[in-house]
Amino acid sequence: LGSTQTLSIPMFTVLRRFTVLFVMIGEVLVLGKGFNRMTCSTVFAMLFGVVVASIGDLAFDSYGYIMVLTNNLVSAAYFLYVKKINDDNFLGKFGMMYYNSILSIPFSAIIVYFSNE
Protein backbone atom coordinates (compact mmCIF):
# COMPACT_ATOMS: atom_id res chain seq x y z
CA LEU A 1 0.00 0.00 0.00
CA GLY A 2 3.01 2.27 -0.29
CA SER A 3 1.68 3.43 -3.63
CA THR A 4 -1.36 5.06 -2.01
CA GLN A 5 0.98 7.72 -0.63
CA THR A 6 1.81 8.92 -4.13
CA LEU A 7 -1.26 7.96 -6.19
CA SER A 8 -4.87 9.02 -5.84
CA ILE A 9 -7.32 6.34 -4.77
CA PRO A 10 -9.10 6.27 -8.19
CA MET A 11 -5.76 5.82 -9.98
CA PHE A 12 -4.76 3.11 -7.51
CA THR A 13 -8.07 1.34 -8.20
CA VAL A 14 -7.54 1.55 -11.96
CA LEU A 15 -4.09 0.03 -11.73
CA ARG A 16 -5.20 -2.73 -9.34
CA ARG A 17 -7.97 -3.81 -11.73
CA PHE A 18 -5.30 -4.87 -14.20
CA THR A 19 -4.54 -7.88 -11.98
CA VAL A 20 -7.44 -9.69 -13.64
CA LEU A 21 -5.87 -9.12 -17.06
CA PHE A 22 -2.48 -10.31 -15.78
CA VAL A 23 -4.09 -13.49 -14.42
CA MET A 24 -5.82 -14.13 -17.73
CA ILE A 25 -2.56 -13.68 -19.65
CA GLY A 26 -0.78 -15.95 -17.18
CA GLU A 27 -3.43 -18.64 -17.51
CA VAL A 28 -2.99 -18.61 -21.28
CA LEU A 29 0.82 -18.67 -21.13
CA VAL A 30 1.42 -20.92 -18.12
CA LEU A 31 -1.63 -23.15 -17.86
CA GLY A 32 -2.52 -23.24 -21.54
CA LYS A 33 -6.09 -22.24 -20.78
CA GLY A 34 -8.16 -20.39 -23.36
CA PHE A 35 -10.96 -17.91 -22.81
CA ASN A 36 -14.06 -17.40 -24.85
CA ARG A 37 -14.89 -14.10 -26.49
CA MET A 38 -17.53 -13.20 -23.89
CA THR A 39 -15.07 -13.50 -20.99
CA CYS A 40 -12.46 -11.37 -22.77
CA SER A 41 -15.09 -8.79 -23.70
CA THR A 42 -16.27 -8.59 -20.11
CA VAL A 43 -12.75 -8.06 -18.75
CA PHE A 44 -11.96 -5.39 -21.34
CA ALA A 45 -15.30 -3.65 -20.69
CA MET A 46 -14.50 -3.60 -16.96
CA LEU A 47 -11.04 -2.15 -17.61
CA PHE A 48 -12.43 0.41 -20.04
CA GLY A 49 -15.07 1.47 -17.51
CA VAL A 50 -12.53 1.88 -14.73
CA VAL A 51 -10.24 3.94 -16.95
CA VAL A 52 -13.12 6.17 -18.09
CA ALA A 53 -14.30 6.64 -14.49
CA SER A 54 -10.87 7.79 -13.35
CA ILE A 55 -9.93 9.91 -16.36
CA GLY A 56 -10.07 13.10 -14.27
CA ASP A 57 -7.59 11.72 -11.73
CA LEU A 58 -4.79 10.82 -14.10
CA ALA A 59 -1.46 11.45 -12.48
CA PHE A 60 1.94 9.97 -13.17
CA ASP A 61 4.24 8.93 -10.40
CA SER A 62 6.77 6.28 -11.35
CA TYR A 63 7.20 5.01 -7.77
CA GLY A 64 3.45 4.50 -7.35
CA TYR A 65 3.11 2.81 -10.73
CA ILE A 66 6.02 0.47 -10.04
CA MET A 67 4.64 -0.46 -6.63
CA VAL A 68 1.13 -1.21 -7.93
CA LEU A 69 2.30 -3.10 -11.01
CA THR A 70 4.72 -5.17 -8.90
CA ASN A 71 1.85 -5.95 -6.55
CA ASN A 72 -0.30 -6.93 -9.55
CA LEU A 73 2.37 -9.26 -10.93
CA VAL A 74 3.01 -10.92 -7.57
CA SER A 75 -0.73 -11.33 -6.96
CA ALA A 76 -1.23 -12.82 -10.42
CA ALA A 77 1.67 -15.22 -9.87
CA TYR A 78 0.17 -16.30 -6.54
CA PHE A 79 -3.27 -16.88 -8.08
CA LEU A 80 -1.71 -18.90 -10.92
CA TYR A 81 0.31 -20.98 -8.47
CA VAL A 82 -2.76 -21.74 -6.36
CA LYS A 83 -4.78 -22.59 -9.45
CA LYS A 84 -2.04 -24.91 -10.75
CA ILE A 85 -1.80 -26.73 -7.43
CA ASN A 86 -5.59 -27.06 -7.18
CA ASP A 87 -5.82 -28.29 -10.80
CA ASP A 88 -3.17 -30.94 -10.12
CA ASN A 89 -5.11 -32.07 -7.01
CA PHE A 90 -1.84 -31.92 -5.10
CA LEU A 91 -3.57 -30.28 -2.15
CA GLY A 92 -7.23 -29.82 -1.43
CA LYS A 93 -8.78 -26.55 -0.33
CA PHE A 94 -8.09 -27.26 3.31
CA GLY A 95 -4.53 -28.40 2.64
CA MET A 96 -3.78 -25.12 0.91
CA MET A 97 -5.27 -23.13 3.79
CA TYR A 98 -3.34 -25.23 6.30
CA TYR A 99 0.06 -24.67 4.66
CA ASN A 100 -0.70 -21.01 4.03
CA SER A 101 -1.49 -20.57 7.73
CA ILE A 102 1.59 -22.48 8.86
CA LEU A 103 3.88 -20.47 6.58
CA SER A 104 2.43 -17.16 7.76
CA ILE A 105 3.05 -17.84 11.47
CA PRO A 106 6.74 -16.73 11.50
CA PHE A 107 5.95 -13.51 9.63
CA SER A 108 2.99 -12.77 11.87
CA ALA A 109 5.07 -13.47 14.98
CA ILE A 110 7.75 -11.01 13.83
CA ILE A 111 5.16 -8.31 13.16
CA VAL A 112 3.48 -8.89 16.54
CA TYR A 113 6.84 -8.83 18.33
CA PHE A 114 8.03 -5.56 16.79
CA SER A 115 4.67 -3.82 17.09
CA ASN A 116 4.42 -4.70 20.80
CA GLU A 117 1.02 -6.29 20.51
Residue type, 23: V
> So what's the pLDDT on residue 67?
87
What distance in Å separates the CA atoms of residue 75 and residue 18, rounded to the nearest whole number? 11
pTM to 2 decimal places: 0.72
93-104 pLDDT, tens digit per residue, is: 677 788 888 989
Residue type, 105: I
13-42 pLDDT, tens digit per residue, is: 888 888 999 999 999 998 888 899 999 999
Is the model's pLDDT at 117 over the cut of 90? no
